[in-house]
Amino acid sequence: MSHHIIEIQDLEFAYPDGTKALQQVSFRITHGESVALIGANGAGKSTILLHLNGCLFPTKGSARIGDVPITKSTLQSIRRTVGMVFQNPDDQLFMPTVYDDVAFGPLNLGFPLEEVQLKVMSALEQVGLAHVKNKSPYRLSEGQKRSIAIATVLSMNPDILVMDEPTSNLDPKSRRNLINLLQTFTHTKIIATHDLDMVLDICERTIILNNGRIVADGKTIELFQNADLLEQSHLEQPLRLNRLSSM
């Protein structure tokens, strides 16, 4: 298996009106790592994610996956390697049935119908939802929708999984199920999230973003002990690590 290393160098992104969303962003993520991207709303997490599969292109700097720079001409192969799961499952489940949604990716990649079937069933089994394949996405619970949204990406067999707020809006049980599921994945994972407790469970490395810049990049456990650092970035320590101060 070739190693797909994500390399972002001095990336800068500005909106058409000039406001800078990201500045001097650099990081390197190697095969199999699980990295959390945390920061306040508007810090730029989603913007970074959108650069990872070519939905956005930097105004300065570079982004590459392995040997391949992310450009307009390499998009198809980049998107085969990097699977992106967005925040709102309703925006990703746009086909009439679950099966159709999970099959969308492989069909676009050109696989014949029999192979598509295999990939779809395998992805659905991975998330434990093979039994809903003929249902309309509208009828699924929020947790099921999340899992199916992940399945729609898994069926393309990506090496890298990028996820934007995967646990938001989930009830505790569904959330726990999702965390357990993510723990079974051997893909490289990049997860933008507010759920710091989940980060402790899944991601050994964390990048903290503040106002479009990276202010910290290191071991999750170490960063999370630093309450001041978190607070400067408009964050808080996860509940688990909170010293219960006497009230």
Partner 1 sequence: MAALESAFLNLGHIETLARKQSKIHQLDPRAKLLTTLIFIITVMSFNRYDLSGVIPFFLYPVMILIIGDLPLIYLVKRFVIVLPFILFIGILNPIIDQNIIMKIGSFSISGGWVSFFSILIRAVLTVFAALTLIATTGFHEICIAMEKIGIPNLFAAQLLFVYRYLFVLIDEASRMVRAKSLRSFSRKGNGLKEWSSIIGHLILRTVDRARRIHLAMLSRGFDGEIRLAHKYVFQLKDILYVLGWTSLFMLMRIFNFSILTGNILQKLMP
Q: Which residues pair with 29 in a beta bridge?
A: 6
d(CA 145, CA 15): 32
Q: Which is nearer to partner 1, 58 or 220 (CB)?
A: 58
Q: Return the residue of 30, 59, 71, 94 that touches partner 1, per CB under 8 A.
A: 94
CA-closest candidate to residue 66, choices 7, 9, 25, 108 = 7
Q: Return the residue of 138, 173, 244, 246 that touches partner 1, per CB under 8 A.
A: 138
Q: Computed over its alpha carbons, how large is the radius of gyration of the chain?
A: 18
d(CA 61, CA 12): 6
What count of Cα atoms within 13 Å lies in the side-chain half-sphere of residue 237?
Answer: 15
For residues 84 and 49, the answer to whether their CB atoms sit within 8 Å is yes
Taking the complex as a whole, how short is the minimal distance between the CB of residue 150 and partner 1, in angstroms? 12
Taking the complex as a whole, how short is the minimal distance between the CB of residue 55 and partner 1, in angstroms? 5
Q: Which is nearer to partner 1, 50 or 241 (CB)?
A: 50
Verify binding: residue 141, partner 1, rule CB under 8 A.
Answer: no
First to last CA, the chain: 54
Stretch binding partner 1 (CB under 8 A), from 18-26, 58-66, 103-111, 235-243: 103-111
Considering only residues 153-212, where is the footprint of partner 1 by CB under 8 A?
153, 156
d(CA 178, CA 74): 32
Stretch binding partner 1 (CB under 8 A), from 17-25, 29-37, 59-67, 86-94: 86-94
Residues that bind partner 1 (CB under 8 A): 50, 53, 55, 75-76, 79-80, 83-84, 86, 88, 90-92, 94-97, 99-100, 103-105, 107-109, 113, 116, 134, 136-138, 152-153, 156
